[in-house]
Amino acid sequence: MTATVKKSQEIVDRLRAAGASFHANDNIADYLEAGDLEDLEVEVRERIDEVLRALVIDVENDPNTEETARRMAKLFLREVFAGRYVPCPKATDFPNERGYDGLIVIGPLQVRSTCSHHFAPILGRCWIGVVPGERVIGISKYSRIADWVLSRPQIQEEAAVQLADRIEELTHPAGLAVHIDAVHSCMTWRGVKETESSMTTTVLRGVLRDDPEFRREFFARLSR
């Protein structure tokens, strides 16, 4: 093993010493140091190269796959799983000065994720409903935070709860709804090949869970 191949173990040791969870959909940015991601990218590239060779692909002579390990390392660490390795986007909050107490619905937000089980893409739409409390955040931040939570290996139920938790921590709303409707390519592209099916999940909190009028209004406002 080269020195860089030990980087993941060094980070795992740090996480274990801190008692921190590092499941596929956990964010570990607080435990990374300057230069770690660059070293991890080298390590992941080397290990994926081994996987390609184990798949009996001639990475030395096939011009289409000779750079695939490098591309996949970047894809995982910097793109589709970036939400594991970078901190939550900043969301400035503002006072809800005039006391707006109606429902705000943001969406559909385009969401992209990856299922933890087969690492197959998940593509879908997300709607966020908020009945504000004393503070509000800019509406673009819902999209940024959704992308941060979903850019990890996920299962949809946990993604919806993680997204609701983060919005709740940031804004302490009187009511919150997170609705995701997504197509899982582990079901459409492989396996049962159910090409027409999607999965919907809804997390309801506060008045959006307890008040039937708010709940009805949220579902009525979802644009299909």
Ligand X SMILES: Nc1nc2c(ncn2[C@@H]2O[C@H](COP(=O)(O)OP(=O)(O)OP(=O)(O)O)[C@@H](O)[C@H]2O)c(=O)[nH]1
**CB-based contact 219:188 (threshold 8 Å):** no
Please say which residue, 29 or 155, places its beta carbon nearer to ligand X.
155
**Residue 186 makes contact with ligand X by CB under 6 A:** yes
On the question of a cis peptide bond just before residue 63, with omega within 30 degrees of 0, the verdict is no
Q: Which residue is nearest to ligand X (CB)?
A: 191
Binding mask 146-185 for ligand X (x = CB under 6 A): ---------xxx--------------------------x-
- Minimal distance in Å, beta carbon 218 to ligand X? 22
Half-sphere exposure of 156 (CA within 13 A, CB side): 24
- Minimal distance in Å, beta carbon 199 to ligand X? 6
Instruction: Tell me, by CB under 6 A, how many residues bind ligand X.
Output: 10
Q: Which tokens hold the place of 213?
A: 């009028």
Stretch that binds ligand X, among 10-18, 79-87, 187-195, 213-221 (CB under 6 A): 187-195
Distance CA(14)–CA(191), nearest Å, equals 37
- Minimal distance in Å, beta carbon 191 to ligand X? 3
Binding mask 67-106 for ligand X (x = CB under 6 A): ----------------------------------------
Please tell me whether residue 198 adopts helix, strand or coil conformation: coil
Cα–Cα distances (Å) from 93 to 135, 172, 184, 216, in that order, read 6, 11, 34, 28
Binds ligand X by CB under 6 A, chosen from 187, 203, 204, 207: 187
Distance CA(118)–CA(105), nearest Å, equals 32
Backbone angles phi, psi at 205, to 5 degrees: -135, 155
Residues at the contact surface with ligand X, assessed by CB under 6 A: 115, 117, 155-157, 184, 186-187, 191-192
